[in-house]
């Protein structure tokens, strides 16, 4: 996926995703309707705490995992 000057490409839950340059974790969650829901975010192998969603600006090539709790044993 080629970036325009104003976009960057993330890997989000294993799939490529293009977002505008300057997108924060909070904005990414908002885009998918997950902001304010009970989710957790890992960026390049490190936890992004809820308190850092607004301040964390995403970079080209970032690998993100967004998870929820589901039924399990």
Would you tell me which residues interact with another protein (CB under 8 A)?
12-15, 32-34, 37-42, 45, 47, 49-50, 65-73
* Nearest distance from C-beta of residue 73 to another protein, angstroms: 3
> Which C-beta is closer to another protein: that of 1 or that of 69?
69
- 1 Cβ partners below 8 Å, 6+ apart? 9, 16, 18
> Which C-beta is closer to another protein: that of 5 or that of 69?
69
Closest CA to 66 of 12, 9, 10: 12
> Which C-beta is closer to another protein: that of 7 or that of 34?
34
* Nearest distance from C-beta of residue 45 to another protein, angstroms: 7
Q: How far is CA 56 from CA 7, 13, 62, in A?
A: 16, 18, 12
Tell me the β-bridge partners of 47. 42
């Amino acid at each position: 996926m080629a970036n325009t000057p104003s976009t960057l490409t993330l890997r989000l839950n294993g799939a490529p995703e293009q977002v505008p340059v300057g997108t924060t974790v909070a904005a990414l969650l908002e885009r998918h309707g997950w902001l304010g829901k009970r989710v957790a975010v890992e960026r390049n192998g490190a936890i992004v705490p809820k308190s850092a969603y607004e301040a964390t600006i995403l970079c080209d090539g970032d690998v993100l995992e967004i998870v929820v709790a589901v039924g399990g044993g």
